[in-house]
Structure 1
């Protein structure tokens, strides 16, 4: 892997570079002391990932990511931020940032982010090769799904690709969110997905994952889902970690009445918009509590999309039956 590190603080920059150079998955590490130098470098060199600080003079890390994505200079980004800028970092959700890492940087967390990008890159390449060798292109397959003229083997191929990443690398709740997102994008394929669910004997053990699973099963059994519901849930899945996301915000994005949208969502998935957001946030918090030790409870709450720690604790306990602290220690 080739990685570019961007930070205007020289000591931190050198520390990150040193950590990455010691990683066996990383072949080359480059560095830049501001976003302008980084963009110039990216225009002439191909890298697998960019690790960038948020606060930098003249052009910040989010603007760097935005431009790099628009100009297709890189696909994978890791943001470094101090706790004071944590809410600010949440704005990067729309840029599909791979990971937020709080300073001081935990070497294990940086290593995990690198491994995730490595796996994602290899999976993308594998899928590209599969598409080149398949009978139909991905665009043709999407058209077949839309018109319901697909073959069972073609649907299975898509499901395998969607399930592969979360099944191998992530806990159950993210796996379910990925399947839900697929259903929302291809609502006409819900029967095939329902079939897959029925045959997989998949039984989630985490409380939030179980709740999301029930939402998913309920959804695939419904006869019809207005496009506004699909779009609303997609927006919610993409941005639920932003504490500002609410029904009014989503309705505004779709230019429809929030009360009308609320009724559509409740009828389509069997729970309210508010409950769906709570499930998404708690399931993400469960993953963080399982897989990270360096974040405080306050940081995990903010990272999961809760506006304050009291709300995080109360919601987590309502859904799981235990506190976040007890969940982290295995109920002890």
Structure 2
């Protein structure tokens, strides 16, 4: 079992397939992506090898992220390859949803188990303001279709932004009243290039939590391979709520996830200064050396992300490693 010096066990790998994205969300890529980085993306064999090494170390869940993973032309092959690795029990993906209607059936057939779709507003004009795209109706249609498919879970991710969606909680709650999807409100995190934006838009998720509890929502326990969200349910709602609050007390205490970038670097934390290259060891089908480097690296994982101390690490924006 992959375990660090603080007895945290890592069963969840977030694997970035690309840094590129076709949306320009103003909290992530207001100036668009650096598309030159696509030349260095890990290939299918490298993906198989690194996932195999993690699986042998106890990883059971892999989430495919970006940037936008749907920009990979071999995405269906990636899903099928990852799902075929012995020991991997669940393959999930985070996407902006622009290909949901067209490609959902292909993804499910290849072995996709769950999908998270980013929707930062249910108002078309606000959605366009945040993302630079006028695709909200077809994305929502794709979510409805996904929720009716054989996927185990469908989640909607919303980054809380004070001046954009800060007052949309009633609309979002109404959205999940009849839909069996899990809504995730994510606190805006400070990165290397968004200091002014963070100060203007950050909302403390604790205020949302208080509102939910006052309205009869109850918190439930999460599974060992679940992400960092605090989860809430209500008997009158088909969907559920989740809050990801990286500034909350003991947020890092039960961390169960590691990240590998689209260039083959191991991120021990989203906000780390140092990344460990795995790429040279991803050229061989022998998983031993790769497992050894991962194990040794994890022993250097720090106890916290230190966001409270304004340490944002070397992550300039979240498209680099998928948030």
The structure showing larger relative contact order (alpha-carbon pairs under 8 Å, at least 6 residues apart) is 2
Bigger strand fraction: 2
Above 0.5 in TM-score? no
Rg comparison, structure with higher value: 1
If the length of structure 1 is used for normalisation, what is the TM-score?
A: 0.28
If the length of structure 2 is used for normalisation, what is the TM-score?
A: 0.28
